[in-house]
Amino acid sequence: KAHILKDRCIDCGECIRVCPHHAKKVIHNVLADYSHFKHLVALPAPSLYAQFNNLHDTETVLAGLLDIGFDSFYEVARAAELVSDATRKIMDKVPKPVISSACPAVVRLIKVRFPQLIDHVLPFVSPMELAARLAKKEVMEKTGLTEEEIGCIFISPCPAKITAINNPIGSKKTYVDGAVAMKDVYPLLLSAMKHPSKTVDASAGRIGISWASGGGESSGLVTVENYLACDGIENVIRVLEDLEDGKFHNLEFVELNACPGGCVGGVLTVENPFIAKTKLKAIRKYLPVSMNSLADSIPTNMLWDTELEYNPVFELEGTRMERFQKYSEREQLEQELPGLDCGFCGAPNCRSFADDVVRGYAKKEDCVVIMRRKMDKIKSALE
């Protein structure tokens, strides 16, 4: 049975995307689970708009949210524009290159594998988190309800953002009360959007909407020319390795998304990410550049209140001598393995399998090639 090592999982969703047997799925709530809140606020991810055909404005989607059970909405794209503005203001005050903290899977990856890059991660809460904080403040002022009576529900394109609600990054507390999968909300919205009962106004422009696809956050910085945008977890790992080795010079900003194509490629979306990006371009044509900016300095509710700390889950355990011995055993075993990366053993590649054996998670004989060699020796001895 397929199982995940929780201490190593960054919730990128790649196992869900590539497994031909669909052995893993995302555990998430449904809209009915949040009916106990007196006021329900929808936090639509910018990628939501890219799921629909022939969409020329975001207002239709936002009006549909009010007809499927939400009392109000706060566009995450709106909060994204504020984060973009704050990033412009802080660029000269942080170590270069600045690495975006928008993708929680990437931030977790840096925490467990790239400790030298931790100080380069942008110390801002995600647009999802900022949207929830601002939404609760607005609703409390309008209705007089308490913070606990207001439920901010994120419409998520990926499992990483759902995990970020249960285990916040850079914050002691999250203001997001839950999440629903975009693919679950999609059919409800599709029906509601045919005859919306209300008329609403959108509050986000091109910069905010563009965060849905790879390179959108970087292009929204406007004044930053030397940036790198990368998507897809394997590509992200290669870029981080090159960053750690100092291969990039004069680079100012790095945008990394674990999902291929950016958030439009999340495993909880409906549309093909390439088609979704095309749809997003069509929507952007009708929008102003930006509709949100900071009046003055960066507010404290945008900043992390806890430091990002290195979590050495990939390091071998034990004393110095024990670690050296395990390292030697791993290298020796890797030489014995066929290097086919077939996956029959349950590990993604031969190197990972060697590491699993040394750590006690697997047996050497779990490799079918090694087992066959062993059986051939036994057969030869009996002849």
This prediction has a pTM of 0.89
Distance CA 103, CA 126 (A): 8
Q: Give mean pLDDT, residues 198-208.
A: 95
Which tokens is 344 given? 């029959």
**Domain span holding position 356:** 320-382
Q: Given this model, what pLDDT does residue 1 score?
A: 57
Give the domain CATH number at 361. Answer: 1.10.15
| Interval 298-312: pLDDT, tens | 999 999 999 999 988
- Asked if the structure places residue 61 within a domain, the reply is yes
| Interval 121-171: pLDDT, tens | 999 999 999 999 999 999 999 999 999 999 999 999 999 999 999 999 999
Q: Given this model, what pLDDT does residue 20 score?
A: 81
Do residues 215 and 264 touch, judged by C-beta distance below 8 A? no
Q: Given this model, what pLDDT does residue 2 score?
A: 62
- Asked if the structure places residue 109 within a domain, the reply is yes
| Domain count of the fold of the chain | 2
- Asked if the structure places residue 310 within a domain, the reply is no
Do residues 304 and 173 touch, judged by C-beta distance below 8 A? no
Are residues 346 and 252 part of one domain?
A: no
- Asked if the structure places residue 55 within a domain, the reply is yes
- Asked if the structure places residue 314 within a domain, the reply is no
Are residues 287 and 326 part of one domain?
A: no
Are residues 126 and 263 part of one domain?
A: yes
Are residues 161 and 270 part of one domain?
A: yes
Q: Given this model, what pLDDT does residue 343 score?
A: 82
Are residues 287 and 354 part of one domain?
A: no
Which tokens is 161 given? 């953002």
Are residues 325 and 223 part of one domain?
A: no
- Asked if the structure places residue 313 within a domain, the reply is no
pLDDT category at 274 given cuts 50, 70, 90 is very high
The arrangement of strands across the sheet holding 227-231 comes to: 98-99, 253-257, 227-231
pLDDT category at 382 given cuts 50, 70, 90 is confident
- Asked if the structure places residue 375 within a domain, the reply is yes
| Interval 205-240: pLDDT, tens | 999 999 999 999 999 998 899 999 999 999 999 999
Do residues 90 and 298 touch, judged by C-beta distance below 8 A? yes
Distance CA 276, CA 263 (A): 10
Are residues 289 and 342 part of one domain?
A: no
Q: Give mean pLDDT, residues 319-338.
A: 89
- Asked if the structure places residue 107 within a domain, the reply is yes
